[in-house]
C-alpha cells in the first residue's frame, strides 16, 4: 500500500520499522517521536558512493546536513565515508564534535558571518562555497589576517529552473543564492578570486533545487556549468578542478510520487559530465554531489498519539495529534503531502476519511488533508511516513512545545540519539530580572 520496503505490519497488527515495533517504541519513549531507520540511511550513503564512483572515480559525496543533523547522524555519514556540508557555525561545530576531519567539511551559506569565516579558516575546513562578492572579500581579508589560504569554490546560478516548490528552487538567475552566469557576475567573481593572493579557487558549485523529480534539469545544469568552465579557461587560462552539482533528488512522500533512483541520477549526471568535458576539451573534473533529503527522508517516521476527534457533519472529520507544525512545518510551509498508517491497526482496512490536525494554535497547522484510515479512537498511534528530512532540523518551539526525541533503529534494536526536551530545557535560557519578580 505505502510501498516502503522497510515498513511492514507485524503478525499482531502492529507496524514495524526495520524490525522494531513502533507500538513498543511509542510505549517506551512517548509521542511525538522521531524514528529513523539507520540501516536505510547507511544503505543510501553506500548507494550514492557506489553509483557515482563506479562512473566517475573519486567523486566526493557530501551529506547536506541541513536535512537532518544530529551528532549521531554526522558520525554515521563519517563512518560511511561521506563528507558533509554545513551552513552555519553551529552545524560546523556539530560535525567536528562527531569526529569529522575538518577537511571533509564544506561551508555553504549566503551570508556567513565574520566569526563563522574565521572559525572555518582556523579549523581548516575543506571548501568555502562562496556565494557573493562581499563574502569573497571577507574570506580573502580574514585569510590574509590569519596567515592562511582559503580554499574556495564559487556558487553559481546556472539559470536552470527545477520543477519544484518556489521556495525550494534555487538555480534560477533571480535567486538570493549564487552568482549568475547569465548576468556576468560569475565571470567577475572568477576574476576577483584569481586576483586574491590568499584565495585558492578550486572550481564551481551549483544547486538547482530540492525534491526534484524531473532529473533532466541536472543535465541542463551540468551543461551550463561546464560550458561556463570552458569559457573561463578560454578567457583567463584558469582550469577548474572541481565541479559540485548540489543535491536535490526527490523522495517518495505519497503513493503518486515517483522519484528517480540514485543510480538513474548518477548515470545522467556522470554521462553528461564526461561527454560535456570532452566536447569542450576539458579534463573530467573531480565531481561532488551533496544529497540531503534522499539519504534521510524515507528513513524517518514520526509517531503521534491521536487525541480529540472532531466530526463536523457533512464537512470533515478532524483527528488531532500531539505534535504538528512544530515538529513538521513542511505542510504549512510548502503544502507538502504525507502518508500515514495507524501503527496499532496496521492490518485494518482504511475506511474513513480524516484530516490530521496538529496541536499548535494556528489554523494552518495540519499534517494531512484527507487521508483514509481505519476508524480512529483517542489513544491510537499514528505513524506519518517520510519525515526524516527537514522535520527535526526545522522544528520549532512554537507554543513552547518541547522538541521530540530522536531514536535510531538498527538490526532490530532502538537507541535514543537525541533525548526529548523537558520543560526545564525550554526554561533554561529564560531569565526573570529582579524587577519582574515582585
Chain residues that interact with ligand LLP, rule: CB under 6 A: 64, 66-67, 108, 168, 207, 210-211, 246-249, 290-294, 330, 334, 390
- Cell numbers placing 34: 522521531
Question: Does residue 219 contact residue 213 with C-beta atoms inside 8 Å?
Answer: no
* Nearer CB in complex with ligand LLP: 46/280: 46
CB of 346 to ligand LLP, least distance (A): 27
Place of cell 570552458: 230
CB of 168 to ligand LLP, least distance (A): 5
List residues bridging with 409 in a β-sheet: 37, 414
Q: Distance between CA atoms of 83 and 101, rounded to whole angstroms?
A: 9
CB of 96 to ligand LLP, least distance (A): 20
CB of 144 to ligand LLP, least distance (A): 27
* Nearer CB in complex with ligand LLP: 247/323: 247
Question: Does residue 344 contact residue 385 with C-beta atoms inside 8 Å?
Answer: no
Question: Does residue 258 contact residue 308 with C-beta atoms inside 8 Å?
Answer: no
CB of 161 to ligand LLP, least distance (A): 15
Catalytic residue among 45, 94, 270, 361: 361
User: Going by C-beta distance under 8 Å and a sequence separation of 6 or more, which residues neighbour residue 402?
Assistant: 420, 421, 422, 423, 425, 426
Q: What is the dihedral of CA 71, 77, 82, 85, to 10 degrees?
A: -40
Question: Does residue 38 contact residue 6 with C-beta atoms inside 8 Å?
Answer: no
CB atoms within 10 A of CB 177: 19
Q: Which DSSP string corresponds to 237-261? A: -----EEE----B---SSTT--PPP
* Nearer CB in complex with ligand LLP: 170/355: 170
* Nearer CB in complex with ligand LLP: 159/374: 159
CB of 83 to ligand LLP, least distance (A): 12
* Nearer CB in complex with ligand LLP: 272/328: 328
* Nearer CB in complex with ligand LLP: 152/230: 152
Reported as half-sphere exposure (CB side, CA atoms, 13 A), residue 265 has a value of 30
390: left (phi over 0), alpha (psi -120 to 50) or beta: left
CB of 241 to ligand LLP, least distance (A): 19
Q: Which residues of 312-340 are buried (b: 16+ CB within 10 A; e: fewer)?
A: eeeeeeebbbbbbbbbbbbbbebebbbbb
User: Going by C-beta distance under 8 Å and a sequence separation of 6 or more, which residues neighbour residue 76?
Assistant: 38, 41, 42, 45
* Nearer CB in complex with ligand LLP: 108/345: 108
Q: Is 361 a catalytic residue?
A: yes
- Cell numbers placing 45: 550513503
Question: Active-site residue numbers?
Answer: 361
Amino acid at each position: 500500500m505505502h510501498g516502503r520496503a522497510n515498513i511492514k505490519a507485524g503478525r499482531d497488527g502492529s507496524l514495524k520499522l526495520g524490525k522494531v515495533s513502533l507500538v513498543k517504541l511509542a510505549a517506551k519513549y512517548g509521542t511525538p517521536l522521531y524514528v529513523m531507520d539507520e540501516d536505510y540511511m547507511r544503505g543510501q550513503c553506500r548507494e550514492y558512493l557506489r553509483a557515482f564512483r563506479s562512473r566517475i572515480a573519486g567523486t566526493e559525496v557530501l551529506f547536506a546536513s541541513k536535512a537532518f543533523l544530529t551528532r549521531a547522524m554526522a558520525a554515521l555519514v563519517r563512518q560511511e565515508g561521506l563528507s558533509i556540508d554545513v551552513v552555519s557555525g553551529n552545524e560546523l561545530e556539530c560535525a567536528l564534535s562527531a569526529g569529522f576531519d575538518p577537511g571533509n567539511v564544506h561551508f555553504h551559506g549566503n551570508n556567513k558571518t565574520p566569526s563563522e569565516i574565521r572559525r572555518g579558516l582556523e579549523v581548516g575546513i575543506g571548501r568555502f562555497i562562496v556565494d557573493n562578492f562581499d563574502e569573497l572579500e571577507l574570506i580573502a581579508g580574514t585569510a590574509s589576517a590569519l596567515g592562511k589560504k582559503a580554499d574556495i569554490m564559487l556558487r553559481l546560478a546556472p539559470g536552470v529552473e527545477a520543477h519544484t516548490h518556489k521556495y525550494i528552487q534555487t538555480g534560477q538567475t533571480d535567486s538570493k543564492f549564487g552568482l549568475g552566469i547569465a548576468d556576468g557576475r560569475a565571470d567577475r567573481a572568477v576574476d576577483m578570486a584569481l586576483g586574491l593572493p590568499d584565495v585558492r579557487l578550486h572550481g564551481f558549485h551549483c544547486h538547482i533545487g530540492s525534491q526534484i523529480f524531473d532529473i533532466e534539469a541536472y543535465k541542463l545544469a551540468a551543461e551550463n556549468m561546464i560550458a561556463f568552465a570552458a569559457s573561463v579557461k578560454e578567457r583567463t587560462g584558469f582550469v577548474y578542478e572541481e565541479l559540485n552539482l548540489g543535491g536535490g533528488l526527490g523522495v517518495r512522500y505519497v503513493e503518486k510520487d515517483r522519484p528517480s533512483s540514485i543510480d538513474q541520477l548518477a548515470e545522467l549526471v556522470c554521462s553528461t559530465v564526461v561527454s560535456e568535458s570532452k566536447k569542450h576539451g576539458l579534463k573530467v573534473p573531480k565531481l561532488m554531489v551533496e544529497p540531503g533529503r534522499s539519504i534521510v527522508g524515507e528513513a524517518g517516521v514520526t509517531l503521534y498519539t491521536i487525541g480529540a476527534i472532531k466530526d463536523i457533519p457533512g464537512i470533515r472529520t478532524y483527528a488531532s495529534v500531539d505534535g504538528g507544525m512544530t515538529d513538521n512545518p513542511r505542510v504549512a510551509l510548502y503544502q507538502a503531502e504525507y502518508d500515514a498508517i495507524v501503527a496499532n491497526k496496521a492490518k485494518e482496512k482504511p475506511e474513513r476519511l480524516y484530516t490530521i490536525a496538529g496541536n499548535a494554535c494556528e489554523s494552518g497547522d495540519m499534517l494531512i488533508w484527507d487521508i483514509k484510515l481505519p476508524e480512529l479512537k483517542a489513544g491510537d498511534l499514528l505513524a506519518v511516513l517520510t519525515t526524516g528530512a527537514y522535520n527535526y532540523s526545522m522544528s520549532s518551539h512554537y507554543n513552547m512545545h518541547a522538541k521530540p526525541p530522536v531514536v535510531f533503529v538498527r538490526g532490530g534494536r532502538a537507541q535514543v540519539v537525541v533525548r526529548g526536551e523537558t520543560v526545564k530545557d525550554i526554561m533554561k535560557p529564560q531569565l526573570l530580572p529582579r524587577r519582574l519578580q515582585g
